[in-house]
Amino acid sequence: MKAGREKLIVIGNGMAGMSTVEQILKLSGSYDITVFGNEPHPNYNRIMLSYVLEGTKTIEDIILNDMSWYEEHGIKLYTGTTVARIDSTTRQVITEDGASVPYDKVIIATGSSPLMLPIPGCDKKGVVGFRNIEDCNRMIEAARDYRHAAVIGGGLLGLEAAKGLASLGMEVTVVHLMEDLMERQLDHQAAAMLKTELEHQGIRFAMGKKTTELLGGNRVEGLRFSDDTVLACDFVVMAAGIKPNTSVAKASGIAVKRGIIVDDYMRTSMHHVYAVGECNEHRGVCYGLVAPLFEQGNVLAKHICGVPTLPYEGSVVSTKLKISGVDVFSAGDFMEGPSHTVIAAQNDWKHTYKKILLQDGKITGAVLFGDVTEAAPLQKLVKDHAVMTDEIYNDIMGGGCCGNGSAQKTLSIETMADEEIVCGCNGVTKQMIVEAVTEQGLTTVDEIKACTGATRSCGGCKPVVEQILQYVLGDGFQSDSKQGICGCTKLSRDQIVAEIRGKGLKTIREVMNVLEWSQPEGCSKCRPALNYYLGMVYPAEHEDERASRFVNERLHANIQKDGTYTVVPRMYGGVTTPEVLKRIADVSLKYDVKVVKVTGGQRLDLIGVKKEDLPSVWEELDMPSGYAYAKSLRTVKTCVGSQFCRFGTQDSMTMGALLERKFERLDFPAKFKLAVNGCPRNCAESCTKDIGIVGNDGGWEIFIGGNGGIKPRIADSFCKVRNDHELVDICGAVIQLYRETGNYLERTSEWVERMGLESIRAAVLEDDGQRQQLLERVEFALQQVEEPWHKVLTQDDTRRLLYEGVKG
């Protein structure tokens, strides 16, 4: 602590408090700051918890300010510490464990808690809220042991929880009191379209149901409704609303109604004490969305730093929701009344809907479903109560999702207020982006992301960030295609690979030095990418830089949330022997493996291996790794094929095992999965694999670019081949083309759409010389990565060894 500086204490380590602190740091260096957080984590993005729940992001991915950030800015952080009260007489903050810290100013930013309905049985095991990382972890744990979940509440939070649980494999029913989902944000039409789309994704609904009791003994077993019907379930998420956390204020004698009462500068009834975010109540309103808390934080930061600012006069509430490809947006008034003029368009083919409400010719509300590209300009128009004009009408309704197909116009960024929030997830305003561009010379979205945080979370604000860049830079603006692979460089993937080849660059450090990386050590995004590109360009010369790989790849296992690891050995074609099964069982018992799970890729997953036991486990298994952790060939799923199935026309198990043995050693831009079916019944689900193969009487049909993950995509039919040799060659050529032209972490589903199916066909199918060159390069790469446990086998060898049960 520096002498003479005022002491600022922030109670709450969430988004509202830390956003305010970030603004204070930019405005003034006159405070010694202490932060109390009751969770054992640094500041993270609660908006992204649903992504953690469904498995597309980790806890590390949603951290906004890591521990080093607090140290760098001289902030004293107490994690896992709850504040009991504020003593205004002694000017001290008192914690629950009795410690006291003196203050000059205090910001209460304690947020809100899930509203747990006070109904009989609400205290049973298996009943949780959904508000923080601990709740998220409980839900993930429950999905491992229980099957049937009920989510009480069909609002934004409830739907995100439902989708996350469904992604974890649970059967989920959303129970909602009203007849429409998200009735506070969507009109009847948009709510109906949302419900239909989520039903297609496997979520069930019990609408118009009031829960009166949670059934069961020690653990919840079902819900009883007011009509006396019952829904069986073994896990319940309460998502029926939130309530401001006001206990500190109440214990301190600060005025509280529903929330902590504040004025237009976030001042509470106690001198030198402020409240910001979901815990406060401003002009009778408690806000439960993220944009208002950032607007409040900006006003508060300027006020306590002595910077002139307009008062906070409330927020025009808007909502933007994305669940596995479902986009919805609303702002202002969305339910029309007798005095409204309604402008609406619905496109059932594209599953899109758009509505704008006018009152006295002014725009007062809007709803979008399916395409929310106009969300940012509409939000401003609603906030400003802009008068509808022909120009605005054409901009919003003339093109896009529901219009007549004419070129879509972009509303002028020039009219956007400096204080308007562009990135709601991280509280980044237009002015912050403009200053980053003009004062620091930034020219790309990735640089803006690294500097301000805009676009680093959900990415929904990226179009507006690009528009601001274009507005400020004019002709100097670089479009996405010209941006670098990360904030450390302005060079694209193709430019980097060309420079590596042209200048003979052989190491990551050499690449970064010669190509003038802005960060000398690079970052977690570019270092693994460079390591891959170097290995792809120089398969015989590049020495793999293991330190630049992700931790799972370095340890040959997937780390779990409890710090243990999962080990997945290969089982070619999903076939093994009793001897191998016994070996797996012996190792599992010896090293106290918690769970042995049959995976979707026809293998066994040993869950709960201690880090220090990993080398011994692999040694005693004496099996090749299944690379479940790697950017490489993960699995080749097969049906039983003509060897056993009465419908099978081709030997899918043997072909699957051959392809798996042949290509398992290669590094890819991203994880890679194959499937081989013995007949068109598609039991191995070829349609959702990177390469899917379907047998028929005349040979094989090859499909590429499928994905069954968070962005599902049905594979495209690529070609038909007559024999096994041609099949292996085509697969090898497609694999090498993907390896050479794919962006790092780009799945084939994205690669096919970027490259175009016809261009891939032209390279692999129409030019025999180019295909032969691709095959030569993939074979050369394979020769460089052979490991002791691998042996390249002919198809006859594979067939013999597979059915004799001998490990190759």
Q: Where are the domains of the chain?
A: 6-112+244-304, 127-240, 325-411, 421-482, 493-549, 633-808
Higher pLDDT, 25 or 795: 25
In eight-state DSSP terms, residue 46 is G
Highest averaged pLDDT of the listed ranges 175-189, 463-477, 554-568 = 175-189
Q: Which fold has domain 325-411?
A: Enolase-like; domain 1 (3.30.390)
Helix H segments across 277-348?
Answer: 290-304
Mean pLDDT value across residues 235-257: 96
Mean pLDDT value across residues 477-487: 61
Q: Which of 385-394, 411-420, 609-618, 684-693 has the lowest mean pLDDT?
A: 411-420
What's the rounded Cα separation, in Å, for the pair 186 and 321?
Answer: 11
Mean pLDDT value across residues 114-119: 92
What's the rounded Cα separation, in Å, for the pair 643 and 635?
Answer: 20
Task: Give the pLDDT of residue 800.
Answer: 43
Task: Give the pLDDT of residue 518.
Answer: 83
Task: Give the pLDDT of residue 400.
Answer: 42
Task: Give the pLDDT of residue 797.
Answer: 43
Class of the CATH-defined domain 127-240: alpha beta
- Are 126 and 45 in contact, with CB atoms under 8 Å apart? no
What's the rounded Cα separation, in Å, for the pair 678 and 652?
Answer: 5
- Are 35 and 13 in contact, with CB atoms under 8 Å apart? yes
Instruction: Give the residue from 798, 805, 808 showing the smallest Cα distance to 576.
Output: 805
Higher pLDDT, 799 or 8: 8
In eight-state DSSP terms, residue 328 is E
Inter-helix orientation angle 15-27/290-304, to 10°: 40
Percentage of the chain beyond pLDDT 70 is 91
- Are 558 and 599 in contact, with CB atoms under 8 Å apart? no
Task: Give the pLDDT of residue 323.
Answer: 61
Distances (CA, A) of 113 to 38, 110, 158: 13, 9, 14
List CB contacts of 652: < 8 A, sequence separation 6 or more.
Answer: 638, 639, 640, 641, 642, 676, 677, 678, 684, 693, 695
Higher pLDDT, 149 or 557: 149
Q: Which residues are annotated as a binding site for [4Fe-4S] cluster?
A: 639, 645, 679, 683
Instruction: Count Cα neighbours of 368 within 13 Å in the Cβ-side half-sphere.
Output: 26
CATH architecture, domain defined by 633-808: 2-Layer Sandwich (3.30)
Instruction: Give the residue from 256, 166, 254 showing the smallest Cα distance to 205.
Output: 166
What's the rounded Cα separation, in Å, for the pair 315 and 223?
Answer: 37
Q: Which residues are annotated as a binding site?
A: 639, 645, 679, 683
Highest averaged pLDDT of the listed ranges 224-228, 386-390, 657-661 = 224-228
Domains 6-112+244-304 and 127-240 share a fold: yes
**pTM beyond 0.85, yes or no:** no
Give the confidence band of 259 by pLDDT, cuts at 50, 70, 90. Answer: very high
Mean pLDDT value across residues 239-257: 96
| Residue type for position 290 | V
Query: Does residue 16 have a pLDDT over 70?
Result: yes
What's the rounded Cα separation, in Å, for the pair 36 and 44?
Answer: 14
- Are 12 and 22 in contact, with CB atoms under 8 Å apart? no
Higher pLDDT, 678 or 806: 678
Task: Give the pLDDT of residue 321.
Answer: 67
Class of the CATH-defined domain 6-112+244-304: alpha beta
User: 640: how many CB neighbours lie within 10 A of its CB?
Assistant: 18
Task: Give the pLDDT of residue 489.
Answer: 86
Distances (CA, A) of 275 to 111, 260, 280: 10, 7, 6
What's the rounded Cα separation, in Å, for the pair 730 and 737?
Answer: 11
Instruction: Give the residue from 163, 156, 381, 379 showing the smallest Cα distance to 288.
Output: 156
- Are 177 and 210 in contact, with CB atoms under 8 Å apart? yes
Mean pLDDT, the chain, integer: 87
Instruction: Give the residue from 21, 9, 13, 14 showing the smallest Cα distance to 290.
Output: 14
Higher pLDDT, 508 or 200: 508
Residue owning tokens 């006396």 = 228
List CB contacts of 100: < 8 A, sequence separation 6 or more.
Answer: 87, 90, 92, 93, 94
Mean pLDDT value across residues 343-363: 90
Instruction: Give the residue from 379, 439, 376 showing the smallest Cα distance to 410.
Output: 376
What's the rounded Cα separation, in Å, for the pair 718 and 731?
Answer: 11
Query: Does residue 401 have a pLDDT over 80?
Result: no
Task: Give the pLDDT of residue 280.
Answer: 97
- Are 639 and 657 in contact, with CB atoms under 8 Å apart? no
Task: Give the pLDDT of residue 482.
Answer: 47
What's the rounded Cα separation, in Å, for the pair 713 and 731?
Answer: 19
Query: Does residue 403 have a pLDDT over 70?
Result: no
- Are 472 and 483 in contact, with CB atoms under 8 Å apart? no
Q: Which residues are annotated as a binding site for siroheme?
A: 683
Burial class (CB in 10 A: 0-12, 13-18, 19+), 761: middle
Instruction: Give the residue from 30, 33, 36 showing the smallest Cα distance to 14.
Output: 36
Burial class (CB in 10 A: 0-12, 13-18, 19+), 685: middle
In eight-state DSSP terms, residue 406 is P
Using DSSP, state whether 765 is helix, strand or coil. Answer: helix
Per-residue pLDDT tens for 587-627? 999 999 988 989 878 889 999 998 888 889 989 998 888 88
Q: Which fold has domain 421-482?
A: Arc Repressor Mutant, subunit A (1.10.10)
Mean pLDDT value across residues 436-447: 82
- Are 568 and 586 in contact, with CB atoms under 8 Å apart? no
